[in-house]
Amino acid sequence: MEYEYMLMRNEKETQNRYCGGRVWCVQDICGIICAVLTWGLILYAEFVVTMVILVPNPYKAYRYINFVIFNTASFLAFASHVRTMLSDPGAVPKGNATKEMIQLLGYQEGQVFFKCPKCCSIKPERAHHCSVCQRCIRKMDHHCPWINNCVGENNQKFFVLFTFYIAFISIHAIFLAVNQFCLCIKSEWRECSNYSPRRR
């Protein structure tokens, strides 16, 4: 009986964990599609800024400096996104609300603690159950479909970095687009970029 319990517990613990428990990935098709869309949008921004705005610019120093800044921030945004997506957000072990575990954790008789009815785990303070991850998450903020993961105690730093880098490359892209627009107004619009629409 004890052996079956341990097998069942190990099976529950490996949910959402891959590569020997080192990688966390939620098997939610909507979240995976949103994460791939996020990567596609970052790549599209790379293409537009590099090929449409920077390559045709006549000023070499302006072109190279902005190329390095934008590509570095885009790489950091992508790396932060992947790290947020593949990090355990602080999942509470499933099925740990047993008499043995309660005694191991040092709870005294009559002491109040909360038990999650959905995943049968002892809920720490500020832990909430996520219906997508099917786990209780410590210091859970929210489940974000764009990262296909919960934002919790262990990956909140990477999520904040991801949103910071995305905001930075968005502001930088707007600045570059406005400069490109002003440059194109001063010169022949057709010769401004290889991707300018042809006049009929």
Place of tokens 């570095």: 72
Q: Which residue has the higher pLDDT, 127 or 122?
A: 127
**Of the listed 119, 133, 144, 192, which one is catalytic?**
144
pTM (2 d.p.): 0.78
CA–CA separation, 66 and 161 (whole Å): 20
The pLDDT tens digits of the residues spanning 35-58 come to 999 999 999 999 999 988 888 877
Helix (H, G, I), strand (E, B) or coil at 143: strand
Q: How confident is the model at residue 2 (pLDDT cuts 50, 70, 90)?
A: very low
Q: How confident is the model at residue 5 (pLDDT cuts 50, 70, 90)?
A: very low
Catalytic residue list contains 144: yes
Compute the chain's Rg from CA coordinates. 24
Nearest to 98 by CA among 90, 88, 87, 107: 107
Q: Please, are residues 165 and 80 in contact by the beta-carbon 8 Å criterion?
A: yes
CA–CA separation, 65 and 111 (whole Å): 61
Helix (H, G, I), strand (E, B) or coil at 89: coil
> How is the chain split into domains, by residue range?
15-181
Place of tokens 């994460």: 35
The pLDDT of residue 190? 62
The pLDDT tens digits of the residues spanning 49-98 come to 998 888 887 788 999 999 999 999 999 999 999 999 998 898 887 766 66
Alpha-helical runs (H) found in the chain: 2-13, 29-47, 60-85, 99-104, 156-186
Altogether, the residues listed in the chain come to a count of: 200
CA–CA separation, 190 and 181 (whole Å): 12
